[in-house]
Chain A
Amino acid sequence: MNNPILQRQKFGLFTAGVIALLVSLLFVVSPASAGNPTQKTENYCLSCHGDPKLNMTLPSGEVLSLYVSQDVIGHSVHSPLGIECEACHTDISTYPHPAQSFQNKRDLSRTIYLACQKCHPDNFQKAQDSMHATAAAKGNMQAAICTDCHGAHDVQIPGKPRSSISLTCSKCHADIYAQYKQSVHGSALINENNQDVPVCTDCHGVHNIQDPTTAAFRVQSPEMCARCHADPQLMGKYGLPSDVYSIYKTSWHGVDVSVYKSRWPTIWHDSAVCTDCHGIHDMRKTTDPASHVNPTNLLATCQKCHPGTGPNWTDAWTGHNKISLQRTPFLFYVDAFYSSFTPFILWICIIYVVLQIIRSLVDRVRRSLP
């Protein structure tokens, strides 16, 4: 049994067997890469739908183009992965197609997009809980559905490049995009291709976009800003202070807002949040003359909530400054006084009273002794 030739033969057979098994496994596991049969289905569909002139007229009178560009679908994220036409067009598997009952283009989109949930159930469900779905439920059929943002035949990996996200939103929210473009965030994104600045979805969420005009959104919004503005590393990169949020939280406005957030998030409260002063979509550098918080505009910004205030009023705001002799002299002196005065009073009282108690106890004991 210790014949070396026999052993070598056995080993050779074993190796060949393993290789054969591995190769066959390769075919079983990834048929797409092996044979790419789905492209055949796509090609079959495109044999008609590759005609740019192919169209139909919907009952609404809209002319619906039935053309699908080989180039566009070929460069989508789905097609190269072997996801075939009928993955989305679920009821069409052969020709002639079954009769369709779409009244108009929107009706068609809102029906076919339901197929997204087959593969993307989580994000689909989130979108059903969004502001867009709520608007649709109230009758606004133009409210965005999956395909409005992601595209249909031309669906791409989202967020590449990052600036495409805000452009996507701008298709419906053009006026807000115009403001955002001028803002410190938007201009850095669009002009400098800055990857740190927030795009729409960073503040509003991606699929479960909520109504930003509610009390609940308002009181949590400072935390949203703090995700970046309280990050010392990120702020350090731009020479910005990262304590604006922590100091704001101790300010009059900030305490109010945090109490409302934790206790009564659904009750509207006017105490200022970040966006009340800095602007919602048009926040700019404080040095920018167009900024709401630029020294030249600051009083007018305060007066939005505090009408009738005079020019001295703006100095009452210390919600972003540490107590310092330069920025907040009055606060500095009061703080300096009480940080020694209060403990001084406390210790004087305690020491004096304790001495008195000891003395009177000793006296009492002495008197009771014979």
Chain B
Amino acid sequence: MTPQPKTTSSPVIVEKIYQRFNLGQRWEHMLLFLSATVLLLTGLPQKYRDASWSQAILTTPDRVYLIQQIHHIAAIVLILEAVYHLGRAIYQLSRRKLSAGMFPTVQDLRDAGQMILYLLFIRKDKPKFGKYNFEQKVTYWFVFFGFILMIISGLVIWFPLWFTNFLPGGIVPAAKLMHSTEAIAAAVFILIWHFYHVHIERLNLSIFTGKLSEKEMQEFHTKELERLQRKPKDKVKPGEPK
């Protein structure tokens, strides 16, 4: 089913719209975004307790306690989201329905190499990408492993007594160091890498709207568009004018 313009005589150009993320994925991103922001904002003042800006926030011991409670609540939200995400992936895997789109491939390495050549003015054209390009896969897997480390190290310093029942005591200060440095690495990565790609390179709101226009598909996900157009029955949803 190919989307049709409503009236052939209308001067309004109606673009085809392609579904990129389903509602569940958009909600997952929203939860991740909100909980990670709260975690970062409540974590930084704790990490930099010696700094005056932190002490301007944490003016009383009660405030310290409060900010820790908020951090823990946001952590629970993040953990639940991570469990849901992993559980869903495992469920889909067990039914052989897990989309392979997000897994890294050799093609991604080639794309990255071509992209660097393009950026260095050695090649003329950007590589053509599928549904998820290598930049987006790097983002996903960085966040994936980063949050696993953050959750584990966070739980260790939240419940050190329990963990040292069966793990060496040395993991406690190591977890504390990991939690506070991985947080900075992750924040730096998201703020530079992710924000550039979704805000500055182009404003890509598909994670909130779920949709991409044909023009965007053509420019950024050429191969995916080609695939969809080859098999029009597969997953193409009728676009609606925005």
A330 to B171 alpha-carbon distance, docked (Å): 6
Interface check B131, CB cutoff 8 A: no
Nearest CB of chain B from residue A102's CB, rounded to whole Å: 50
Would B189 and A330 count as touching, CB distance under 8 A? no
B118 at the binding interface (Cβ < 8 Å):
yes
User: Inside 8 A of A355's CB, which chain B residues have their CB?
Assistant: 116, 119-120
Which of B1-9, B92-100, B180-188 is found at the contact surface with chain A?
Answer: B180-188
User: Cβ of B168: which chain A residues have Cβ within 8 Å of it?
Assistant: 312, 315, 330
A263-B55, A310-B164, A312-B164 as given contacts; A346 in contact with B188, CB under 8 Å: yes
| Least Cβ–Cβ distance between A348 and chain B, in angstroms | 8
| Contact of A22 with B by CB under 8 A | no
Looking across the interface, which residue of chain B has its beta carbon closest to that of A263? B55
B10 within 8 A of A: no
Are A310 and B181 neighbours in the complex by a CB distance under 8 Å? no
A316 to B177: give the CA distance in the assembly, Å: 12
Q: Which residues of B contact A309 (CB under 8 A)?
A: 161, 164
> Which parts of B158-194 form the interface with A (CB within 8 Å)?
160-161, 164-174, 176-178, 181-182, 184-185, 188-189, 192-193
The interface residues of chain A lying within 8 Å CB-to-CB of B60 are 264
Q: Quick check: is B201 within 8 A (CB to CB) of the other chain?
A: yes
Residues of A near B164 (CB, < 8 A) are: 309-310, 312-313, 316
A316/B170 contact (C-beta < 8 A), A309-B161, A335-B177 known: yes
Assess whether A333 is interfacial by the CB under 8 Å rule.
yes
The distance in angstroms between the C-alpha atoms of A267 and B161, with both chains bound, is 26
Residue of A with least CB distance to B191: A349
Contact between chains at B172 and A349 (CB < 8 Å): no
Whose C-beta in chain A lies nearest to the C-beta of B64? A259
State A35–B118 Cα separation when bound (angstroms). 105
Indicate if the CB atoms of B169 and A259 lie closer than 8 Å. Answer: no
Closest to B184 in A: A342
Q: State whether A353 and B167 are in contact (beta carbons under 8 Å apart), knowing that A328-B173, A331-B173, A341-B185 are contacts in the complex.
A: no
> Provided the pairs A263-B55, A309-B164, A359-B119 are in contact, do residues A338 and B185 lie with their beta carbons within 8 angstroms?
yes
Instruction: Tell whether, in the assembled complex, residue B61 and residue A267 are in contact, meaning their CB atoms are under 8 Å apart.
Output: yes
**CA A85 – CA B119 in complex, angstroms?**
97
Chain B CB count within 10 A is highest, among A255, A330, A357, A358, for A330
Most buried by A among B164, B167, B189, B193: B164
Contact A330–B182 (Cβ < 8 Å)? no
Which residues in A have their C-beta under 8 angstroms from that of B181? 334, 338, 342
Q: How far is the CA of A317 from the CA of B170 in the complex (A)?
A: 8
B53 at interface by CB-CB < 8 Å: no
CB-based contact B185/A356 at 8 Å: no
Nearest CB in chain B: distance from A267 CB, A:
6
Q: How far is the CB of B238 from chain A (nearest CB, A)?
A: 33
- A contact residues, range: 35 or more
Query: Within the assembled complex, what's the spacing in Å between the Cα atoms of A352 and B181?
Result: 22
Which residues, 47 to 78 on B, are CB-close (under 8 Å) to A? 49-50, 55, 59-61
Say whether A360 faces chain B, with CB atoms less than 8 Å apart: yes
User: Nearest residue in A to B170 (C-beta to C-beta)?
Assistant: A330
Question: Shortest distance in angstroms between B230's beta carbon and chain A's nearest beta carbon?
Answer: 29
Which residue of B is nearest A329, CB measured? B170
Distance in angstroms between the alpha carbons of A353 and B178 in the assembled complex: 26
Name the B residues within 8 Å of A260 (CB-CB).
61
Complex CA gap A248/B29 in Å reads: 40
Known A309-B164, A312-B164, A345-B189: A328·B182 in contact at CB below 8 Å = no
Interface pair B177/A338, CB less than 8 Å apart: yes
B174 touches A331 (CB 8 A): yes
Within the complex, which residue of A264, A313, A356, A358 is in contact with B169, where a contact is CB–CB below 8 Å?
Answer: A313
Q: Considering the chains assembled together, what is the distance between the CA atoms of A359 and B120 in angstroms?
A: 8
Given that A312-B167, A353-B192 are contacting pairs, would A359 and B161 also be in contact in the complex, using a CB cutoff of 8 Å?
no
A273 to chain B: closest CB distance in Å?
17
Contact with B along A298-336 (1 / 0, CB 8 A): 000000001011101111111000000000111101110
Closest to A264 in B: B61
Please provide the 7 A-B residue pairs with the shortest distance between their CB atoms, ordered closest to farther: A315-B169, A330-B174, A316-B169, A316-B172, A349-B192, A355-B119, A330-B170
Name B residues whose Cβ lies closer than 8 Å to a Cβ of A: 49-50, 55, 59-61, 116, 118-121, 160-161, 164-174, 176-178, 181-182, 184-185, 188-189, 192-193, 196, 200-201
12 contacts between A and B (CB under 8 A): A252-B173, A306-B161, A310-B165, A313-B169, A315-B169, A315-B170, A316-B170, A317-B169, A328-B173, A330-B173, A338-B178, A350-B192
On A, residues with C-beta under 8 Å from B are: 252, 255, 258-260, 262-264, 267, 269, 306, 308-310, 312-318, 328-331, 333-335, 338, 341-342, 345-346, 349-350, 352-353, 355-360, 362
